[in-house]
Amino acid sequence: MKKKKVIDEIYIPDVGSQVETIDGKEYLITNDAMYTFFRRTKGEFSAFFLALKNEKRLLGCKCTKCGIVRVPPFLTHCPDCNFAPTEMIEVEQVGIMNSTPPITYFATSLFQHMAPYGRGRVIFRGADTAMSINLYTTTGILVPGIIKKGTEVKLIFRDKRIGEMIDVFCVPTAELTQEKINKNGLQESEIDWETPQEPSLPVASEEDSNQYRKALDEMKDLIEDMNRNESARKAIAGWKRDIQVKTRGGQFAIMIDDGDIRLTESVVSSPDFIMVCDDIHSLLDGLAYRGAITDSIINKKIWISKNMEFNTIFKLDRMARFLVRSKKV
């Protein structure tokens, strides 16, 4: 009897290719599987992942002959020593960046919940090779310059671990107390994420204040426009955020509430996050679709207090885009 497959036969395309002609040009189409569910064993890696998951320990393998320590322990025998066996050893949870990590702001759907994140290679104390790992900061949005080649970082364990590489990540040791740096198996919930380092703003001149008033009036009109616009409202459906915005000329709040967006000249007692932009025009231009707010963040013209709120910024950019597009039609 034929065993029933998890995905029905009719949904699985034949392996092969075909040619389609569009506007007189030939295009090759191949059938590929993009995504499916599967079970797989971690095999010889099991000890490494179990140590991360259950014991919050970082393991490497040490060659019994030449003594090189590889982390993660991806070899059971050393190719440099005529395949002498390696043995598992524990290494320290503080290391040095081997390279300057690129930062992913716009991740694919698979990694969107983790973005923005840095991805770089760390040589942990006691190891000779670098391990690839995700990187974060507790100081606010992750931007270039916070973590570089040579930056000392600490291994942090997720509170919920399933035995995958994403069970762990690193933050700069400069952001932690000595006690936390020394602690093995430090978890994400033991770290202070709630006191980001807000950039200071210079005192506003009279000219700054005048510019601020003008830009604020323009922004109020724009936000009212967005609030009345059905397509713009769709970008913030089901979303609720109180954002305190601080600029050189003054501060105001932008409140997002399931399709509604409002600007009030007030100080919110407990905003979901804080946005600091020295020049209010950086934000105004983004909302008016003259450049993206996301770009201003990456270029450090706008700072936000919570890394994960990049998501909200993304929505504001979409509102700006939808508003402009719907006006064109």
Residue 238 CB coordination number (10 Å): 7
Closest to Zn ion by CB, 69 vs 308, is 69
Interface contacts to Zn ion, rule CB under 5 A: 63, 65-66, 78, 80-81
Structure token digits, residue 86: 């390696």
Q: Tell me the closest approach of the beta carbon of residue 157 to Zn ion, in angstroms.
A: 30
Q: Tell me the closest approach of the beta carbon of residue 93 to Zn ion, in angstroms.
A: 24
Closest to Zn ion by CB, 76 vs 209, is 76
* Cα–Cα distance, 50 to 62 (Å, whole number): 18
Q: Tell me the closest approach of the beta carbon of residue 53 to Zn ion, in angstroms.
A: 28
User: Is residue 62 exposed (0-12), middle (13-18) or buried (19+ Cβ within 10 Å)?
Assistant: buried
**Taking the mean position of all CA atoms in its chain, how far away is CA 19?**
39
The neighbouring-strand residues paired with 75 are none
Q: Tell me the closest approach of the beta carbon of residue 127 to Zn ion, in angstroms.
A: 14
Closest to Zn ion by CB, 62 vs 248, is 62
Closest to Zn ion by CB, 89 vs 308, is 89
Q: Across the chain, how many H-helices and E-strands are there?
A: 7, 17
Q: Tell me the closest approach of the beta carbon of residue 64 to Zn ion, in angstroms.
A: 8
Pairing of strands 273-277, 240-247: parallel
Closest to Zn ion by CB, 65 vs 180, is 65
Task: Give the CA-trace dihedral at 69, 70, 72, 77, to 10 degrees.
Answer: -110
